[in-house]
């Protein structure tokens, strides 16, 4: 990792804790294996992302409905989906330091394994070293490690009560396909959307909130008409539509398109159910890695859940001559936590304030106003003037009926501005002595630092227009 990138990541982790975005989980006990808690500002940012996503892809579309399915499902669901047998990573242990790693993350490991299997000689400088203790030749042969979190349902702990925390939200939508058809009368193409937690017992979690064992997904299963097997375009048009939708979302939330690479995953690296997968790779400080994914899951899931359950999950169109079929699925999958990390990285800036004589520096979080934890902050110019405080409180109480709004009456006004800049508040509103006479206030823009006088009676529509633009 380059020094500047490493510094940026360290700054983001420190900033996130210091300003109440993200705290280490169970910190008073020394933490727990890369678990994280969202603080007062982090939970607002996270909720704003989810609300914007839901509004865009569910509320404003006629071809989408929502679900919220259980985290713990009948284990037969995971048998049918292939997770119990195939949801595994190759695990490697070092016999010296006993640290464990994912085999595909160790440079040169695949070549070494191949040489062991074929008994072919490998040059000494090609034998991989342990990433932790750097001992050469200490890595043992990989073993497959299932990523499912196992637990027990009820008071007994035996095989009959074994259940799993879901490793993805998708199966909850597939097993409810018939319920959705019966209650909504949707016709193809249509989608089912869900936001929820998923759990994967990752071998090597890390890079802050990028890879964790508990994470949140925003997923859609978009069911399409039966494609013509001789015409790939019959399903590709839906896939291409969602590819464009995802890039449009990326741009609109404030991620620069030039930081994204659309990687067409080759056949040998795709999930077992996928006929085509695009990974949207983002340029993180620790390297290019997956931000979102888009997969053509074919009819694999509905077909296998029907075979395992015995319940008819086929779609019957209004055309009586058309035989029932399992509609194939396009799956846009977006991680909430990775979105938070990407947005913090994109929005964080350190810059000089040209309005000051010495060009003081400030930290500013240039989030889109719709995503900012607080949409505005209200200040009385002086905290020891009751008439200013009273008017400012009235403005504050009126605004927070519509927006999340901060109140701050501590210290000088410049420090209050900088404090709000750092957490991404797009507009700061100051009530001064002129406000008492003219019934107007000063509104300061976070990014330009320009100020303008606005009538108090015009403030709410002014902010609505700015924030919702």
Does the CA dihedral 108-110-111-112 come out positive or negative? positive
| 369, 375 contact by CB (below 8 A) | yes
User: Is residue 74 predicted with pLDDT exceeding 90?
Assistant: yes
Q: What is the pLDDT of residue 144?
A: 74
Q: What is the pLDDT of residue 331?
A: 98
Q: What is the pLDDT of residue 117?
A: 60
**Domain holding 287: CATH number?**
3.30.930.10
User: Is residue 137 predicted with pLDDT exceeding 90?
Assistant: no
Tokens linked to 164: 């799993």
C-alpha–C-alpha distance, residues 221 and 238, integer Å: 12
Whether residue 47 is found in the same domain as residue 111: no
User: Is residue 235 predicted with pLDDT exceeding 80?
Assistant: yes
Whether residue 176 is found in the same domain as residue 130: no
Q: What is the pLDDT of residue 98?
A: 79
Banded pLDDT at 81 (limits 50, 70, 90): very high
The percent of residues in the chain predicted with pLDDT above 90, rounded, is 76
Banded pLDDT at 236 (limits 50, 70, 90): very high
Whether residue 66 is found in the same domain as residue 202: yes
User: Is residue 120 predicted with pLDDT exceeding 90?
Assistant: no
User: Is residue 395 predicted with pLDDT exceeding 80?
Assistant: yes
Q: What would the mean pLDDT of 267-291 be, rounded to a whole number? A: 94
Find the distance separating the first CA and the last CA of the chain, reported in whole Å: 38
| pLDDT per residue as tens digits for the range 170-204 | 999 999 999 999 999 899 999 999 999 999 998 87
Distance from the Cα of residue 307 to its chain's centroid: 33
Q: What would the mean pLDDT of 69-78 be, rounded to a whole number? A: 97
Q: What is the pLDDT of residue 112?
A: 65
Q: Which of 2-6, 106-110, 402-406 reaches the highest mean pLDDT?
A: 402-406
Banded pLDDT at 122 (limits 50, 70, 90): low
Whether residue 131 is found in the same domain as residue 76: no
Domain total for the chain? 3
Q: What is the pLDDT of residue 121?
A: 63
| pLDDT per residue as tens digits for the range 1-10 | 456 777 999 9
**Domain holding 372: CATH number?**
3.40.50.800
C-alpha–C-alpha distance, residues 314 and 305, integer Å: 11
Whether residue 36 is found in the same domain as residue 181: yes
| 41, 18 contact by CB (below 8 A) | no
| 222, 170 contact by CB (below 8 A) | no
DSSP one-letter code for 267: G
Whether residue 340 is found in the same domain as residue 366: no
pTM metric for this prediction: 0.90
Whether residue 322 is found in the same domain as residue 364: no
Q: What is the pLDDT of residue 141?
A: 79
Mean pLDDT, the chain, integer: 92
Out of 345, 363, 385, a domain closes at 345
Out of 345, 370, 401, a domain closes at 345
User: Whole domain around residue 118: which residue ranges?
Assistant: 91-146
Whether residue 181 is found in the same domain as residue 236: yes
- Residue-wise DSSP of 110-154: HHHHHHHHHT----GGGSPBPTTT--BT-BPPPEEEE-PEEEESS
Whether residue 99 is found in the same domain as residue 119: yes
Whether residue 177 is found in the same domain as residue 322: yes
53: helix, strand or coil: helix
Which of 309, 376, 254, 338 shows the shortest CA–CA distance to 46? 338
Contact residues for 390 (Cβ-Cβ < 8 A; gap 6+): none
Whether residue 415 is found in the same domain as residue 454: yes
Q: What is the pLDDT of residue 169?
A: 97
| pLDDT per residue as tens digits for the range 318-371 | 888 899 999 999 999 999 999 999 999 999 999 987 776 666 789 999 999 999
Q: What would the mean pLDDT of 380-399 be, rounded to a whole number? A: 97
User: Is residue 87 predicted with pLDDT exceeding 90?
Assistant: no
Out of 345, 361, 384, a domain closes at 345
79: helix, strand or coil: helix
Whether residue 339 is found in the same domain as residue 357: no
């Amino acid at each position: 990792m380059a020094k500047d990138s490493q510094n940026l990541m360290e700054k983001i982790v420190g900033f996130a804790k210091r300003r109440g975005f993200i705290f280490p989980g169970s910190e008073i006990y020394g933490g727990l294996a890369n678990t994280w808690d969202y603080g007062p500002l982090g939970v607002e940012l996270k909720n704003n992302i989810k609300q914007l996503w839901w509004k865009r892809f569910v509320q404003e579309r006629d071809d989408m409905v929502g679900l919220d399915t259980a985290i713990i499902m009948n284990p037969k669901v995971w048998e049918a989906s292939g997770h119990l047998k195939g949801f595994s990573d190759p695990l490697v242990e070092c016999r010296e330091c006993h640290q464990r790693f994912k085999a595909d993350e160790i440079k040169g490991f695949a070549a070494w394994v191949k040489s062991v299997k074929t008994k072919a000689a490998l040059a000494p400088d090609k034998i991989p070293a342990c990433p932790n203790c750097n001992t050469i030749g200490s890595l043992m042969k990989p073993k497959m490690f299932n990523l499912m979190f196992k637990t027990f349902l009820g008071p007994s702990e035996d095989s009959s009560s074994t259940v799993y925390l879901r490793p993805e939200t998708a199966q909850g939508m597939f097993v409810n396909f018939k319920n959705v058809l019966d209650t909504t009368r949707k016709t193809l193409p249509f989608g089912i959307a869900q936001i929820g937690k998923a759990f994967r017992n990752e071998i090597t979690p890390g890079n802050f909130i990028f890879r964790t064992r508990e994470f949140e997904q925003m997923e859609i299963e978009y069911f399409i008409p039966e494609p013509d097997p001789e015409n790939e375009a019959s399903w590709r048009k839906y896939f291409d539509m969602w590819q464009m939708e995802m890039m449009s979302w990326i741009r609109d939330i404030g991620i620069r398109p030039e930081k994204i690479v659309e990687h067409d995953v080759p056949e040998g690296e795709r999930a077992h159910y996928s006929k085509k997968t695009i990974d949207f790779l983002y340029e993180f400080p620790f390297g290019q890695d997956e931000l979102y994914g888009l997969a053509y899951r074919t009819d694999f899931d509905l077909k296998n859940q029907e075979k395992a359950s015995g319940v008819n999950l086929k779609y019957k169109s209004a055309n009586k001559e058309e035989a029932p079929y399992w509609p194939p699925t396009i799956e846009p999958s977006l991680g909430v936590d990775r979105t938070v990390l990407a947005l913090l990285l994109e929005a964080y800036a350190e810059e000089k304030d040209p309005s000051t004589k010495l060009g003081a520096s400030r930290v500013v979080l240039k989030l889109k106003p719709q995503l900012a934890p607080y949409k505005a902050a209200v200040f009385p110019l002086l905290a020891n003037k009751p008439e200013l405080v009273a008017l400012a409180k009235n403005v504050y109480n009126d605004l927070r009926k519509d927006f999340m709004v901060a109140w701050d009456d501590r210290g000088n006004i410049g420090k209050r501005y900088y404090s709000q800049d750092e957490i991404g508040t797009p507009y700061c509103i100051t009530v001064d002595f002129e406000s008492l006479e003219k019934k107007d206030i000063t509104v300061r823009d976070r990014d330009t630092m320009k100020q303008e006088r606005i009538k108090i009676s015009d403030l709410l529509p002014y902010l609505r227009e700015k924030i919702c633009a």
